Amino acid sequence: MSAHDFSNLHSDKSVSIRQGQNKALFFFFKRIFDLLCCVLFLPILLLSGLVLLCLNPFFNKGKLIFVQTRMGQNCEPFQAYKFRTMSEEKEATRGSDGPLEADRITLLGSKLRKLRIDELPQILNVWRGEMSMIGPRPDYFQYAAHYIESVPGYSDRHIIRPGISGLAQTQVGYVQSIAGTKLKVSADLEYIQNLGFLQEIRIVWQTIVVICMRAGT
């Protein structure tokens, strides 16, 4: 199967997914890797924060940090942190199946997205054990609740910690519809079925390639 072809995968893989929970050694070293990455990226996070504190009043007026409730492991909510890239609004107006509100992305925000700098504050979520460096990307909680009802297998992707990057992010990319979400879920379930060190290394490398190519949205 092509690395980019998830269309013929099914979402009824709960047996194989449950088997992934028994990989205690893998998850132990995965957690060590997460903590090491947090230590490595903390100086970059602090430096980026200081720079953005100076730039935001001119190019991205408003709060520096964007906090959003997302669905984490076992479908539990948690507060995810990002550098804000969009103009502020009092409440969400975009639906779960709606397109990205590109008109709200600021000039500075678009640069942060392309370089994935906006994701840096999520190392705090990784440190706290709410996320991993690699895993299924967590969705806004209200959208995720809708997807559980409308996308087969969606809840299964939450048996492990969500990640800053993952197989779906590197192979499928940003999705904006139910059809796209189904494709993302299939990729996430494929990732969970094949949990292992080689897959982690491959996704880390692919993430680096994506960032270097500035293929963000």
Residue 70's contacts (CB-CB under 8 Å, 6 or more residues apart) are 77, 78, 79, 80, 138, 139, 140, 141, 144, 162
Q: What is the pLDDT of residue 95?
A: 58
Considering only CA atoms, which of 37, 2, 62 is closest in space to residue 135?
37
Cα–Cα distance, 43 to 92 (Å, whole number): 32
Is pLDDT at 15 greater than 50 in this prediction?
Answer: no
C-alpha 205: how far from chain center: 16
Average the pLDDT over 47-70 and give the result. Answer: 93
Is pLDDT at 51 greater than 70 in this prediction?
Answer: yes
Phi-psi domain of 135 (left: phi exceeds 0; alpha: psi -120 through 50; beta: other): left
C-alpha 176: how far from chain center: 14
Q: What is the pLDDT of residue 83?
A: 96
Is pLDDT at 5 greater than 80 in this prediction?
Answer: no
- Between 87 and 45, name the one with better pLDDT: 45
Q: What is the pLDDT of residues 117-127, one digit of tens each?
A: 999 999 999 99
Element (H, E) at 53: helix 24-59
Cβ(192)–Cβ(158) below 8 Å: no
**Assigned token pair, 199:** 């897959």
Q: What is the pLDDT of residues 101-110, one digit of tens each?
A: 777 888 898 8
Considering only CA atoms, which of 81, 61, 62 is closest in space to residue 70?
81
Average the pLDDT over 160-164 and give the result. Answer: 96
Average the pLDDT over 24-30 and give the result. Answer: 92
Give the mean pLDDT of the chain.
85
- Between 145 and 93, name the one with better pLDDT: 145
Domain spans of the chain, in order of start = 28-212
Q: What is the pLDDT of residue 41?
A: 96
Identify the three-state secondary structure at position 83. Answer: strand
Residue 174 pLDDT class (50, 70, 90 cuts): confident
Q: Average the pLDDT over each of 139-148, 151-160, 168-177 and give the range with the smallest value.
A: 168-177
Helix axis angle for 178-193 and 141-150, nearest 10°, is: 90
Cα–Cα distance, 154 to 185 (Å, whole number): 6
Residue 193 pLDDT class (50, 70, 90 cuts): very high
Is pLDDT at 17 greater than 80 in this prediction?
Answer: no
Q: What is the pLDDT of residue 2?
A: 39
Average the pLDDT over 169-178 and give the result. Answer: 85
Whether the pTM exceeds 0.85: the reply is no
